[in-house]
Structure 1
């Protein structure tokens, strides 16, 4: 046998081996059964892929970047607006400043929500103090054994009320606590926002019994009046605010 015939024989053998291997591979491929065919369920799509495999369908990267850019642009425009001294921009400045400073009407929104959808579900159990605050108070609001030391005309904001030493200061009407802290001219203060968007202020408190954003009922104790100068009586400040103006409390409630 010549060398050329030997080479042709080897090439033919290799070709037959490759064809045989190819047929065996096809047979094995058809014998493999996927899990979804074996158990009758579809594969679950996974969105935990790595880089280049696409993101989560609920996350839109382009929209996210657009929101960041829009927010940054808005901040930049407001900054330029307030640094510009032109008189024609003053109305816009005043509108922006008023929008930033205006208090959010928590109580009005809460009442609207409850009227439309009912009371929200409580996620955490309430303690005894909260249950007591939820109890209905039927008596008319009045300050017992109280005496006005300073009337509204003297300061244009509040009245100073003398009461018994250690007396509780009660809420005039139901509402939501908007502020708890030290207020200039009032000392330790609780501000309650009511459904009609008015506010009642209780100042010069020795201690505070309510929490910020707590919903309270009429007659609920908001705190304890501080002692007067000689320590024999209690004294606290009371004010009513509607919009941007304080009004005379004596025209609204009754003092015994």
Structure 2
């Protein structure tokens, strides 16, 4: 009997020894550092999911690009068909596309809007005095030799040799070069959408997209010795030419 008890105790001790040597069922938890997503309040990404998300993103981008290409092709096809087909409803897409391509970008208006809301950190537009009244003056001192009624676009003035041409109001240069009709020409775009045109210049002192203040020098008109210099001036607003004499007080001669 004693032998059996010793045998049972021996078996129990052996089982305890084996249990201590074998790894337990409850393993020590492994703590991993938080992922970037968890630190920013998003659920952690499961390994292998990033590749699936990247693939999904690429598929979505490809789909959007394909849709844009299809819509562009449809617009082009509609305009092309509208030129050859006698359907009036197809004229509207063509007219809209043409107007968008021909419309001038409103540089002066955008500059004024930016200055009003964000100030002038880059010195693009000088701040205006809200209480100051705008006094317009002619670009040169002289007399009108060709009236607006005769020219249809602007006026031609006679002035002294080597006269500096001034900007009638603040604006941005949208053209500075040679024109087929008015030769050396500068065109200013103003924040109200109007444009002032200065032609027959002998020299140009400004460059494209330069911001100029009112009465700033744009160039000069010169002539042969003993003769008066000619200068062309026009004002355009809403795609219509205005008579400068009605906008600015000038000295007219017959």
The TM-score normalised by the length of structure 2 is 0.65
Quote the offset at 1:255 in angstroms: 3.1
Relative distance call for 1:224 and 1:43 in structure 2 (3 A) is same
Quote the offset at 1:239 in angstroms: 0.2
Moved more, 152-161 or 140-149: 140-149
Quote the offset at 1:83 in angstroms: 3.1
The answer as to whether partners of 2:139 and 2:167 remain within 8 angstroms in 1 is no
Corresponding position of 1:118? 118
Which structure 1 segments of 5+ residues have no match? 1-32, 46-50
Quote the offset at 1:55 in angstroms: 6.0
Moved more, 172-181 or 227-236: 227-236
The answer as to whether partners of 1:187 and 1:204 remain within 8 angstroms in 2 is yes
Q: Distance in 2 between matches of 1:196 and 1:222?
A: 20
> Structure 2 matches for 1:69-88, cutoff 5 A?
69-87=70-88
Corresponding position of 1:99? 100
Q: Distance in 2 between matches of 1:79 and 1:56?
A: 36
The answer as to whether partners of 2:109 and 2:192 remain within 8 angstroms in 1 is yes
Relative distance call for 1:96 and 1:135 in structure 2 (3 A) is closer
Q: Distance in 1 between matches of 2:146 and 2:193?
A: 26
Please give the per-residue CA displacement for 1:24-82, whole angstroms capped at 9, x wherever unaligned.
xxxxxxxxx9xxx6xx685899xxxxx99946969823222322332233223222222
The answer as to whether partners of 1:143 and 1:255 remain within 8 angstroms in 2 is no
Quote the offset at 1:175 in angstroms: 1.5
Q: Secondary structure at the match of 1:213?
A: coil
Which of 224, 227, 246 is the matching residue for 2:241? 246
Q: Secondary structure at the match of 1:195?
A: coil
> Structure 2 matches for 1:229-240, cutoff 5 A?
232-240=227-235
Q: Distance in 2 between matches of 1:198 and 1:135?
A: 18
Paired residues in the alignment total 214
CA RMSD of aligned residues (A): 4.0
Please give the per-residue CA displacement for 1:184-236, whole angstroms capped at 9, x wherever unaligned.
322221111112211111111122222222222111112222x3466743322
Q: Distance in 1 between matches of 2:201 and 2:139?
A: 15
Matched, 1:209 2:205: yes
Q: Distance in 1 between matches of 2:145 and 2:93?
A: 44
Matched, 1:151 2:147: yes
The answer as to whether partners of 1:107 and 1:176 remain within 8 angstroms in 2 is yes
Corresponding position of 1:255? 250
